[in-house]
Amino acid sequence: MLDAAFIQQAATRLDAAERSRTQVRQFSLDYPQITLEDAYAIQRAWVAQKIKDGRKLVGHKIGLTSRAMQVSSNISEPDYGALLDDMFFDEGTDIPFERFIVPRVEVELAFILSKPLKGPNVTVFDVLDATEWVIPALEIIDARIQQVDPQTQASRKVFDTISDNAANAGVVMGGRAVRPSEIDLRKVPAVLYRNGVIEESGVSAAVLNHPAKGVAWLANKLAPYSVTLEPGQIILGGSFTRPVAANPGDTFHVDYDMLGSIACRFV
């Protein structure tokens, strides 16, 4: 376990990187002994620092939900991060590009809870019972840590991504909200257009075969830390498309078929 001083220093470096839009060196290069627990400790310290600065925790995100992404990251389970109140943007609006460094867009479903979920032993059925609404969402991911080290050419590792709040940076929700019992949550399709060109498509079953499984996993994963998923919180269930890069001037439109669509523009 890395010492508390380094963990706090790493969190401060991430905060400075976000503010200055200047990526920092990979923690896994500076500290090759870093573990997943260390990475989550850095993330928790970063979140605590943000809350101390006046931001509010409003939910959580789940990432690395596809088997292909887990294999590429040399990890056998998803990861998670925090959603803070100033990460949310209204659909159909302009998103300031200067808020980010290298933003990319992913297609997801968001679960809005009406009951608490606390592990262990939370199941998909518990998640469905505790969910008031499911609504389409776009996650804007970013990298405050260098993806490739300029000296060694080493690629960023999963420890770096988890430290970096599992890459989360923004959320856009929109389209049609539904009760979880209204539709088959495994069969929600989505087609992502960037500047009128189809860049990605997918179906929600790609998220662990059912997007509610990720929420159950998260509740159980957070149980040892005495963290409960609270009523009113928003849980991003995981992407069912690859991330698509966003540049200034890019317009995104994502069609979720029966659940409507989301549009936004980076300026």
Per residue in 168-213, pLDDT tens?
A: 999 999 999 999 999 999 999 999 999 999 999 999 999 999 999 9
Look at strands 189-194 and 251-255 and give their pairing: antiparallel
CATH hierarchy code of domain 4-266:
3.90.850.10
Phi, psi of 261 (to 5 degrees): -150, 165
Q: Which amino acid is present at 159?
A: F
Per-residue model confidence (pLDDT) at position 65: 79
Tokens of 79: 């990861």
> From start to end of 142-233, where are the E strands?
168-173, 189-194, 197-203
Mean pLDDT (whole number) for 133-144: 97
CA distance 203 to 206: 6
| Model-wide pTM > 0.75 | yes
CA-CA distance, 233 to 211, in Å (whole number)?
A: 16
CB atoms within 10 A of CB 53: 9
> In this model, does residue 255 exceed pLDDT 60?
yes
Chain mean pLDDT for the chain: 94
Question: How would you list the strands of the sheet with 189-194, edge to edge?
Answer: 94-95, 261-266, 251-255, 189-194, 197-203
Q: Is the dihedral of CA 111, 112, 114, 118 positive or negative?
A: positive
Rg of the chain over all Cα atoms, to the nearest angstrom: 18
Looking at residue 42, its pLDDT comes to 97
Question: What pLDDT, on the 0 to 100 scale, is given for residue 266?
Answer: 98
- Residues 20-58 have pLDDT tens digits of 999 999 999 999 999 999 999 999 999 999 999 999 999
* Cα-based distances in Å from 253 to 47, 138, 196, 250: 30, 10, 8, 10
Of 45, 76, 47, nearest in space to 61 by CA: 47
